[in-house]
Copies of this chain bind each other. A is one copy, B any other.
């Protein structure tokens, strides 16, 4: 199968863009990605687009053709939805389109517009990623669901609120130099612990913000990149996708995320790497505990090990395994459909040495991975990016 190159990327700064439409935000990201790749809209073969709440936040479904037209193309386009993993699944399916030879150039991206909803509407909208019949109607919101997972984790493996606070502090610190991040503000462990409680054991700073944003990738086959002499040195060498029950009640263990494990094993196999080969990672830290669960699901730490690593600072920018150098969802922001795409952009720019945090990784670093999760990890994707000269 052909190698899939990342020929270009584009994203708008994540944050609050109340006066921009979804198509406007996506057009900017998509056109930037095409410009970065040196590819014209006419050369795109297909578009894969991740979005979760457009039918509610903008009364707009069928966004594939809109986003295609917005970047000046009229190509086969679909919206891929897997809640907060929509972007990751869009990338996965786009990779396949190239690998199977149906497409040479694919635009994969995502967008979410959320700041035009008030907090209640947004919380209500996001709750649609949980089981409406068995969770939402019983009063479960996402802060509550992840809080249950955190409490189960503490009971099973130990750890406490203060350990989790280190993750929030780290990710805010990482975002300080990232001018595309929603929250560029230093916070301290004390501030995290003193923040208003939102769902025990979480305070407000254990949660990511509600963001607007868009991000896009131009993927090409190896042959296309070679023929057109593209400046493409980073490839997506592994892709994996895992699933779990939507409702927490149906799972045997609340402190483990088998969907991430399944996705990781598939992605590592696909790329022919081991977890120990991973140099750095972007993971889905919608809540602080989610980063812990992700790192263990990815096999980068044993079950119960990632919270110790957070406390010890191993995942900080100067640690052994830098995690969420972009600021993560926690500080970079979480415009749902765009999140998984932005993770891959962070990896690519870090590998190329053009990310503001690039000096945090060794010159010898060649492998980064991205883990994107939907709901309480009922869906997960993992992608492996490697430098291929």
Contact = CB atoms under 8 A, between A and B. Distances in A.
**Binding site of A, secondary structure by majority: helix, strand, loop or mixed?**
mixed
A133 B21 CA distance: 10
B76 A375 contact: no
Contact of A65 (B128, B133, B263, B379): B379
B89 A78 contact: yes
Q: Which 3 A-B pairs have the closest CB atoms?
A: A62-B83, A76-B241, A61-B128
A246 B65 contact: yes
A242 B76 contact: yes
Contact of A262 (B66, B76, B263): B76
Given A55-B55, A55-B56, A69-B250, A81 B61 contact: yes
Nearest to A82: B78
Name the interface size band of chain A: 35 or more
Interface string A135-146: 010000000000
A61 B66 contact: no
A89 B129 CA distance: 22
Given A65-B379, A81-B81, 5 more contacts: A62-B374, A76-B242, A76-B263, A78-B81, A79-B80
Nearest to A67: B246
B58 A55 contact: no
Interface stretch (A91-99, A229-237, A327-335, A361-369): A91-99
Interface string A108-135: 0000000000000000010111111100
Contacts of A16: none
A237 to B, nearest CB: 15
B62 A82 contact: yes
Interface of A: 1, 21, 23, 46-47, 52-53, 55-56, 58-62, 64-66, 68-69, 74-83, 89, 93, 96-97, 99-100, 102, 125, 127-133, 136, 241-247, 250, 262-263, 374-375, 378-379
Contacts of A69: 245-247, 250
B96 A132 contact: no
15 contacts: A21-B133, A59-B127, A59-B132, A60-B132, A65-B243, A69-B245, A74-B243, A76-B243, A76-B262, A77-B82, A77-B379, A78-B82, A96-B96, A96-B97, A100-B100
Contacts of A65: 243-246, 374-375, 378-379
Contact of A74 (B97, B244, B374): B244
A80 B83 contact: no
B96 A243 contact: no
Nearest to A66: B246
Contacts of A66: 131, 246
A82 B128 CA distance: 19
A251 to B, nearest CB: 9
Among A69, A76, A99, A130, the one with the most B-chain Cβ atoms within 10 Å of its Cβ is A76
Given A243-B75, A245-B69, A262-B76, A83 B61 contact: yes
Contacts of A23: 133
A96 B262 CA distance: 20
A262 B45 CA distance: 12
Contacts of A46: 241
Among A60, A132, A378, the one with the most B-chain Cβ atoms within 10 Å of its Cβ is A132
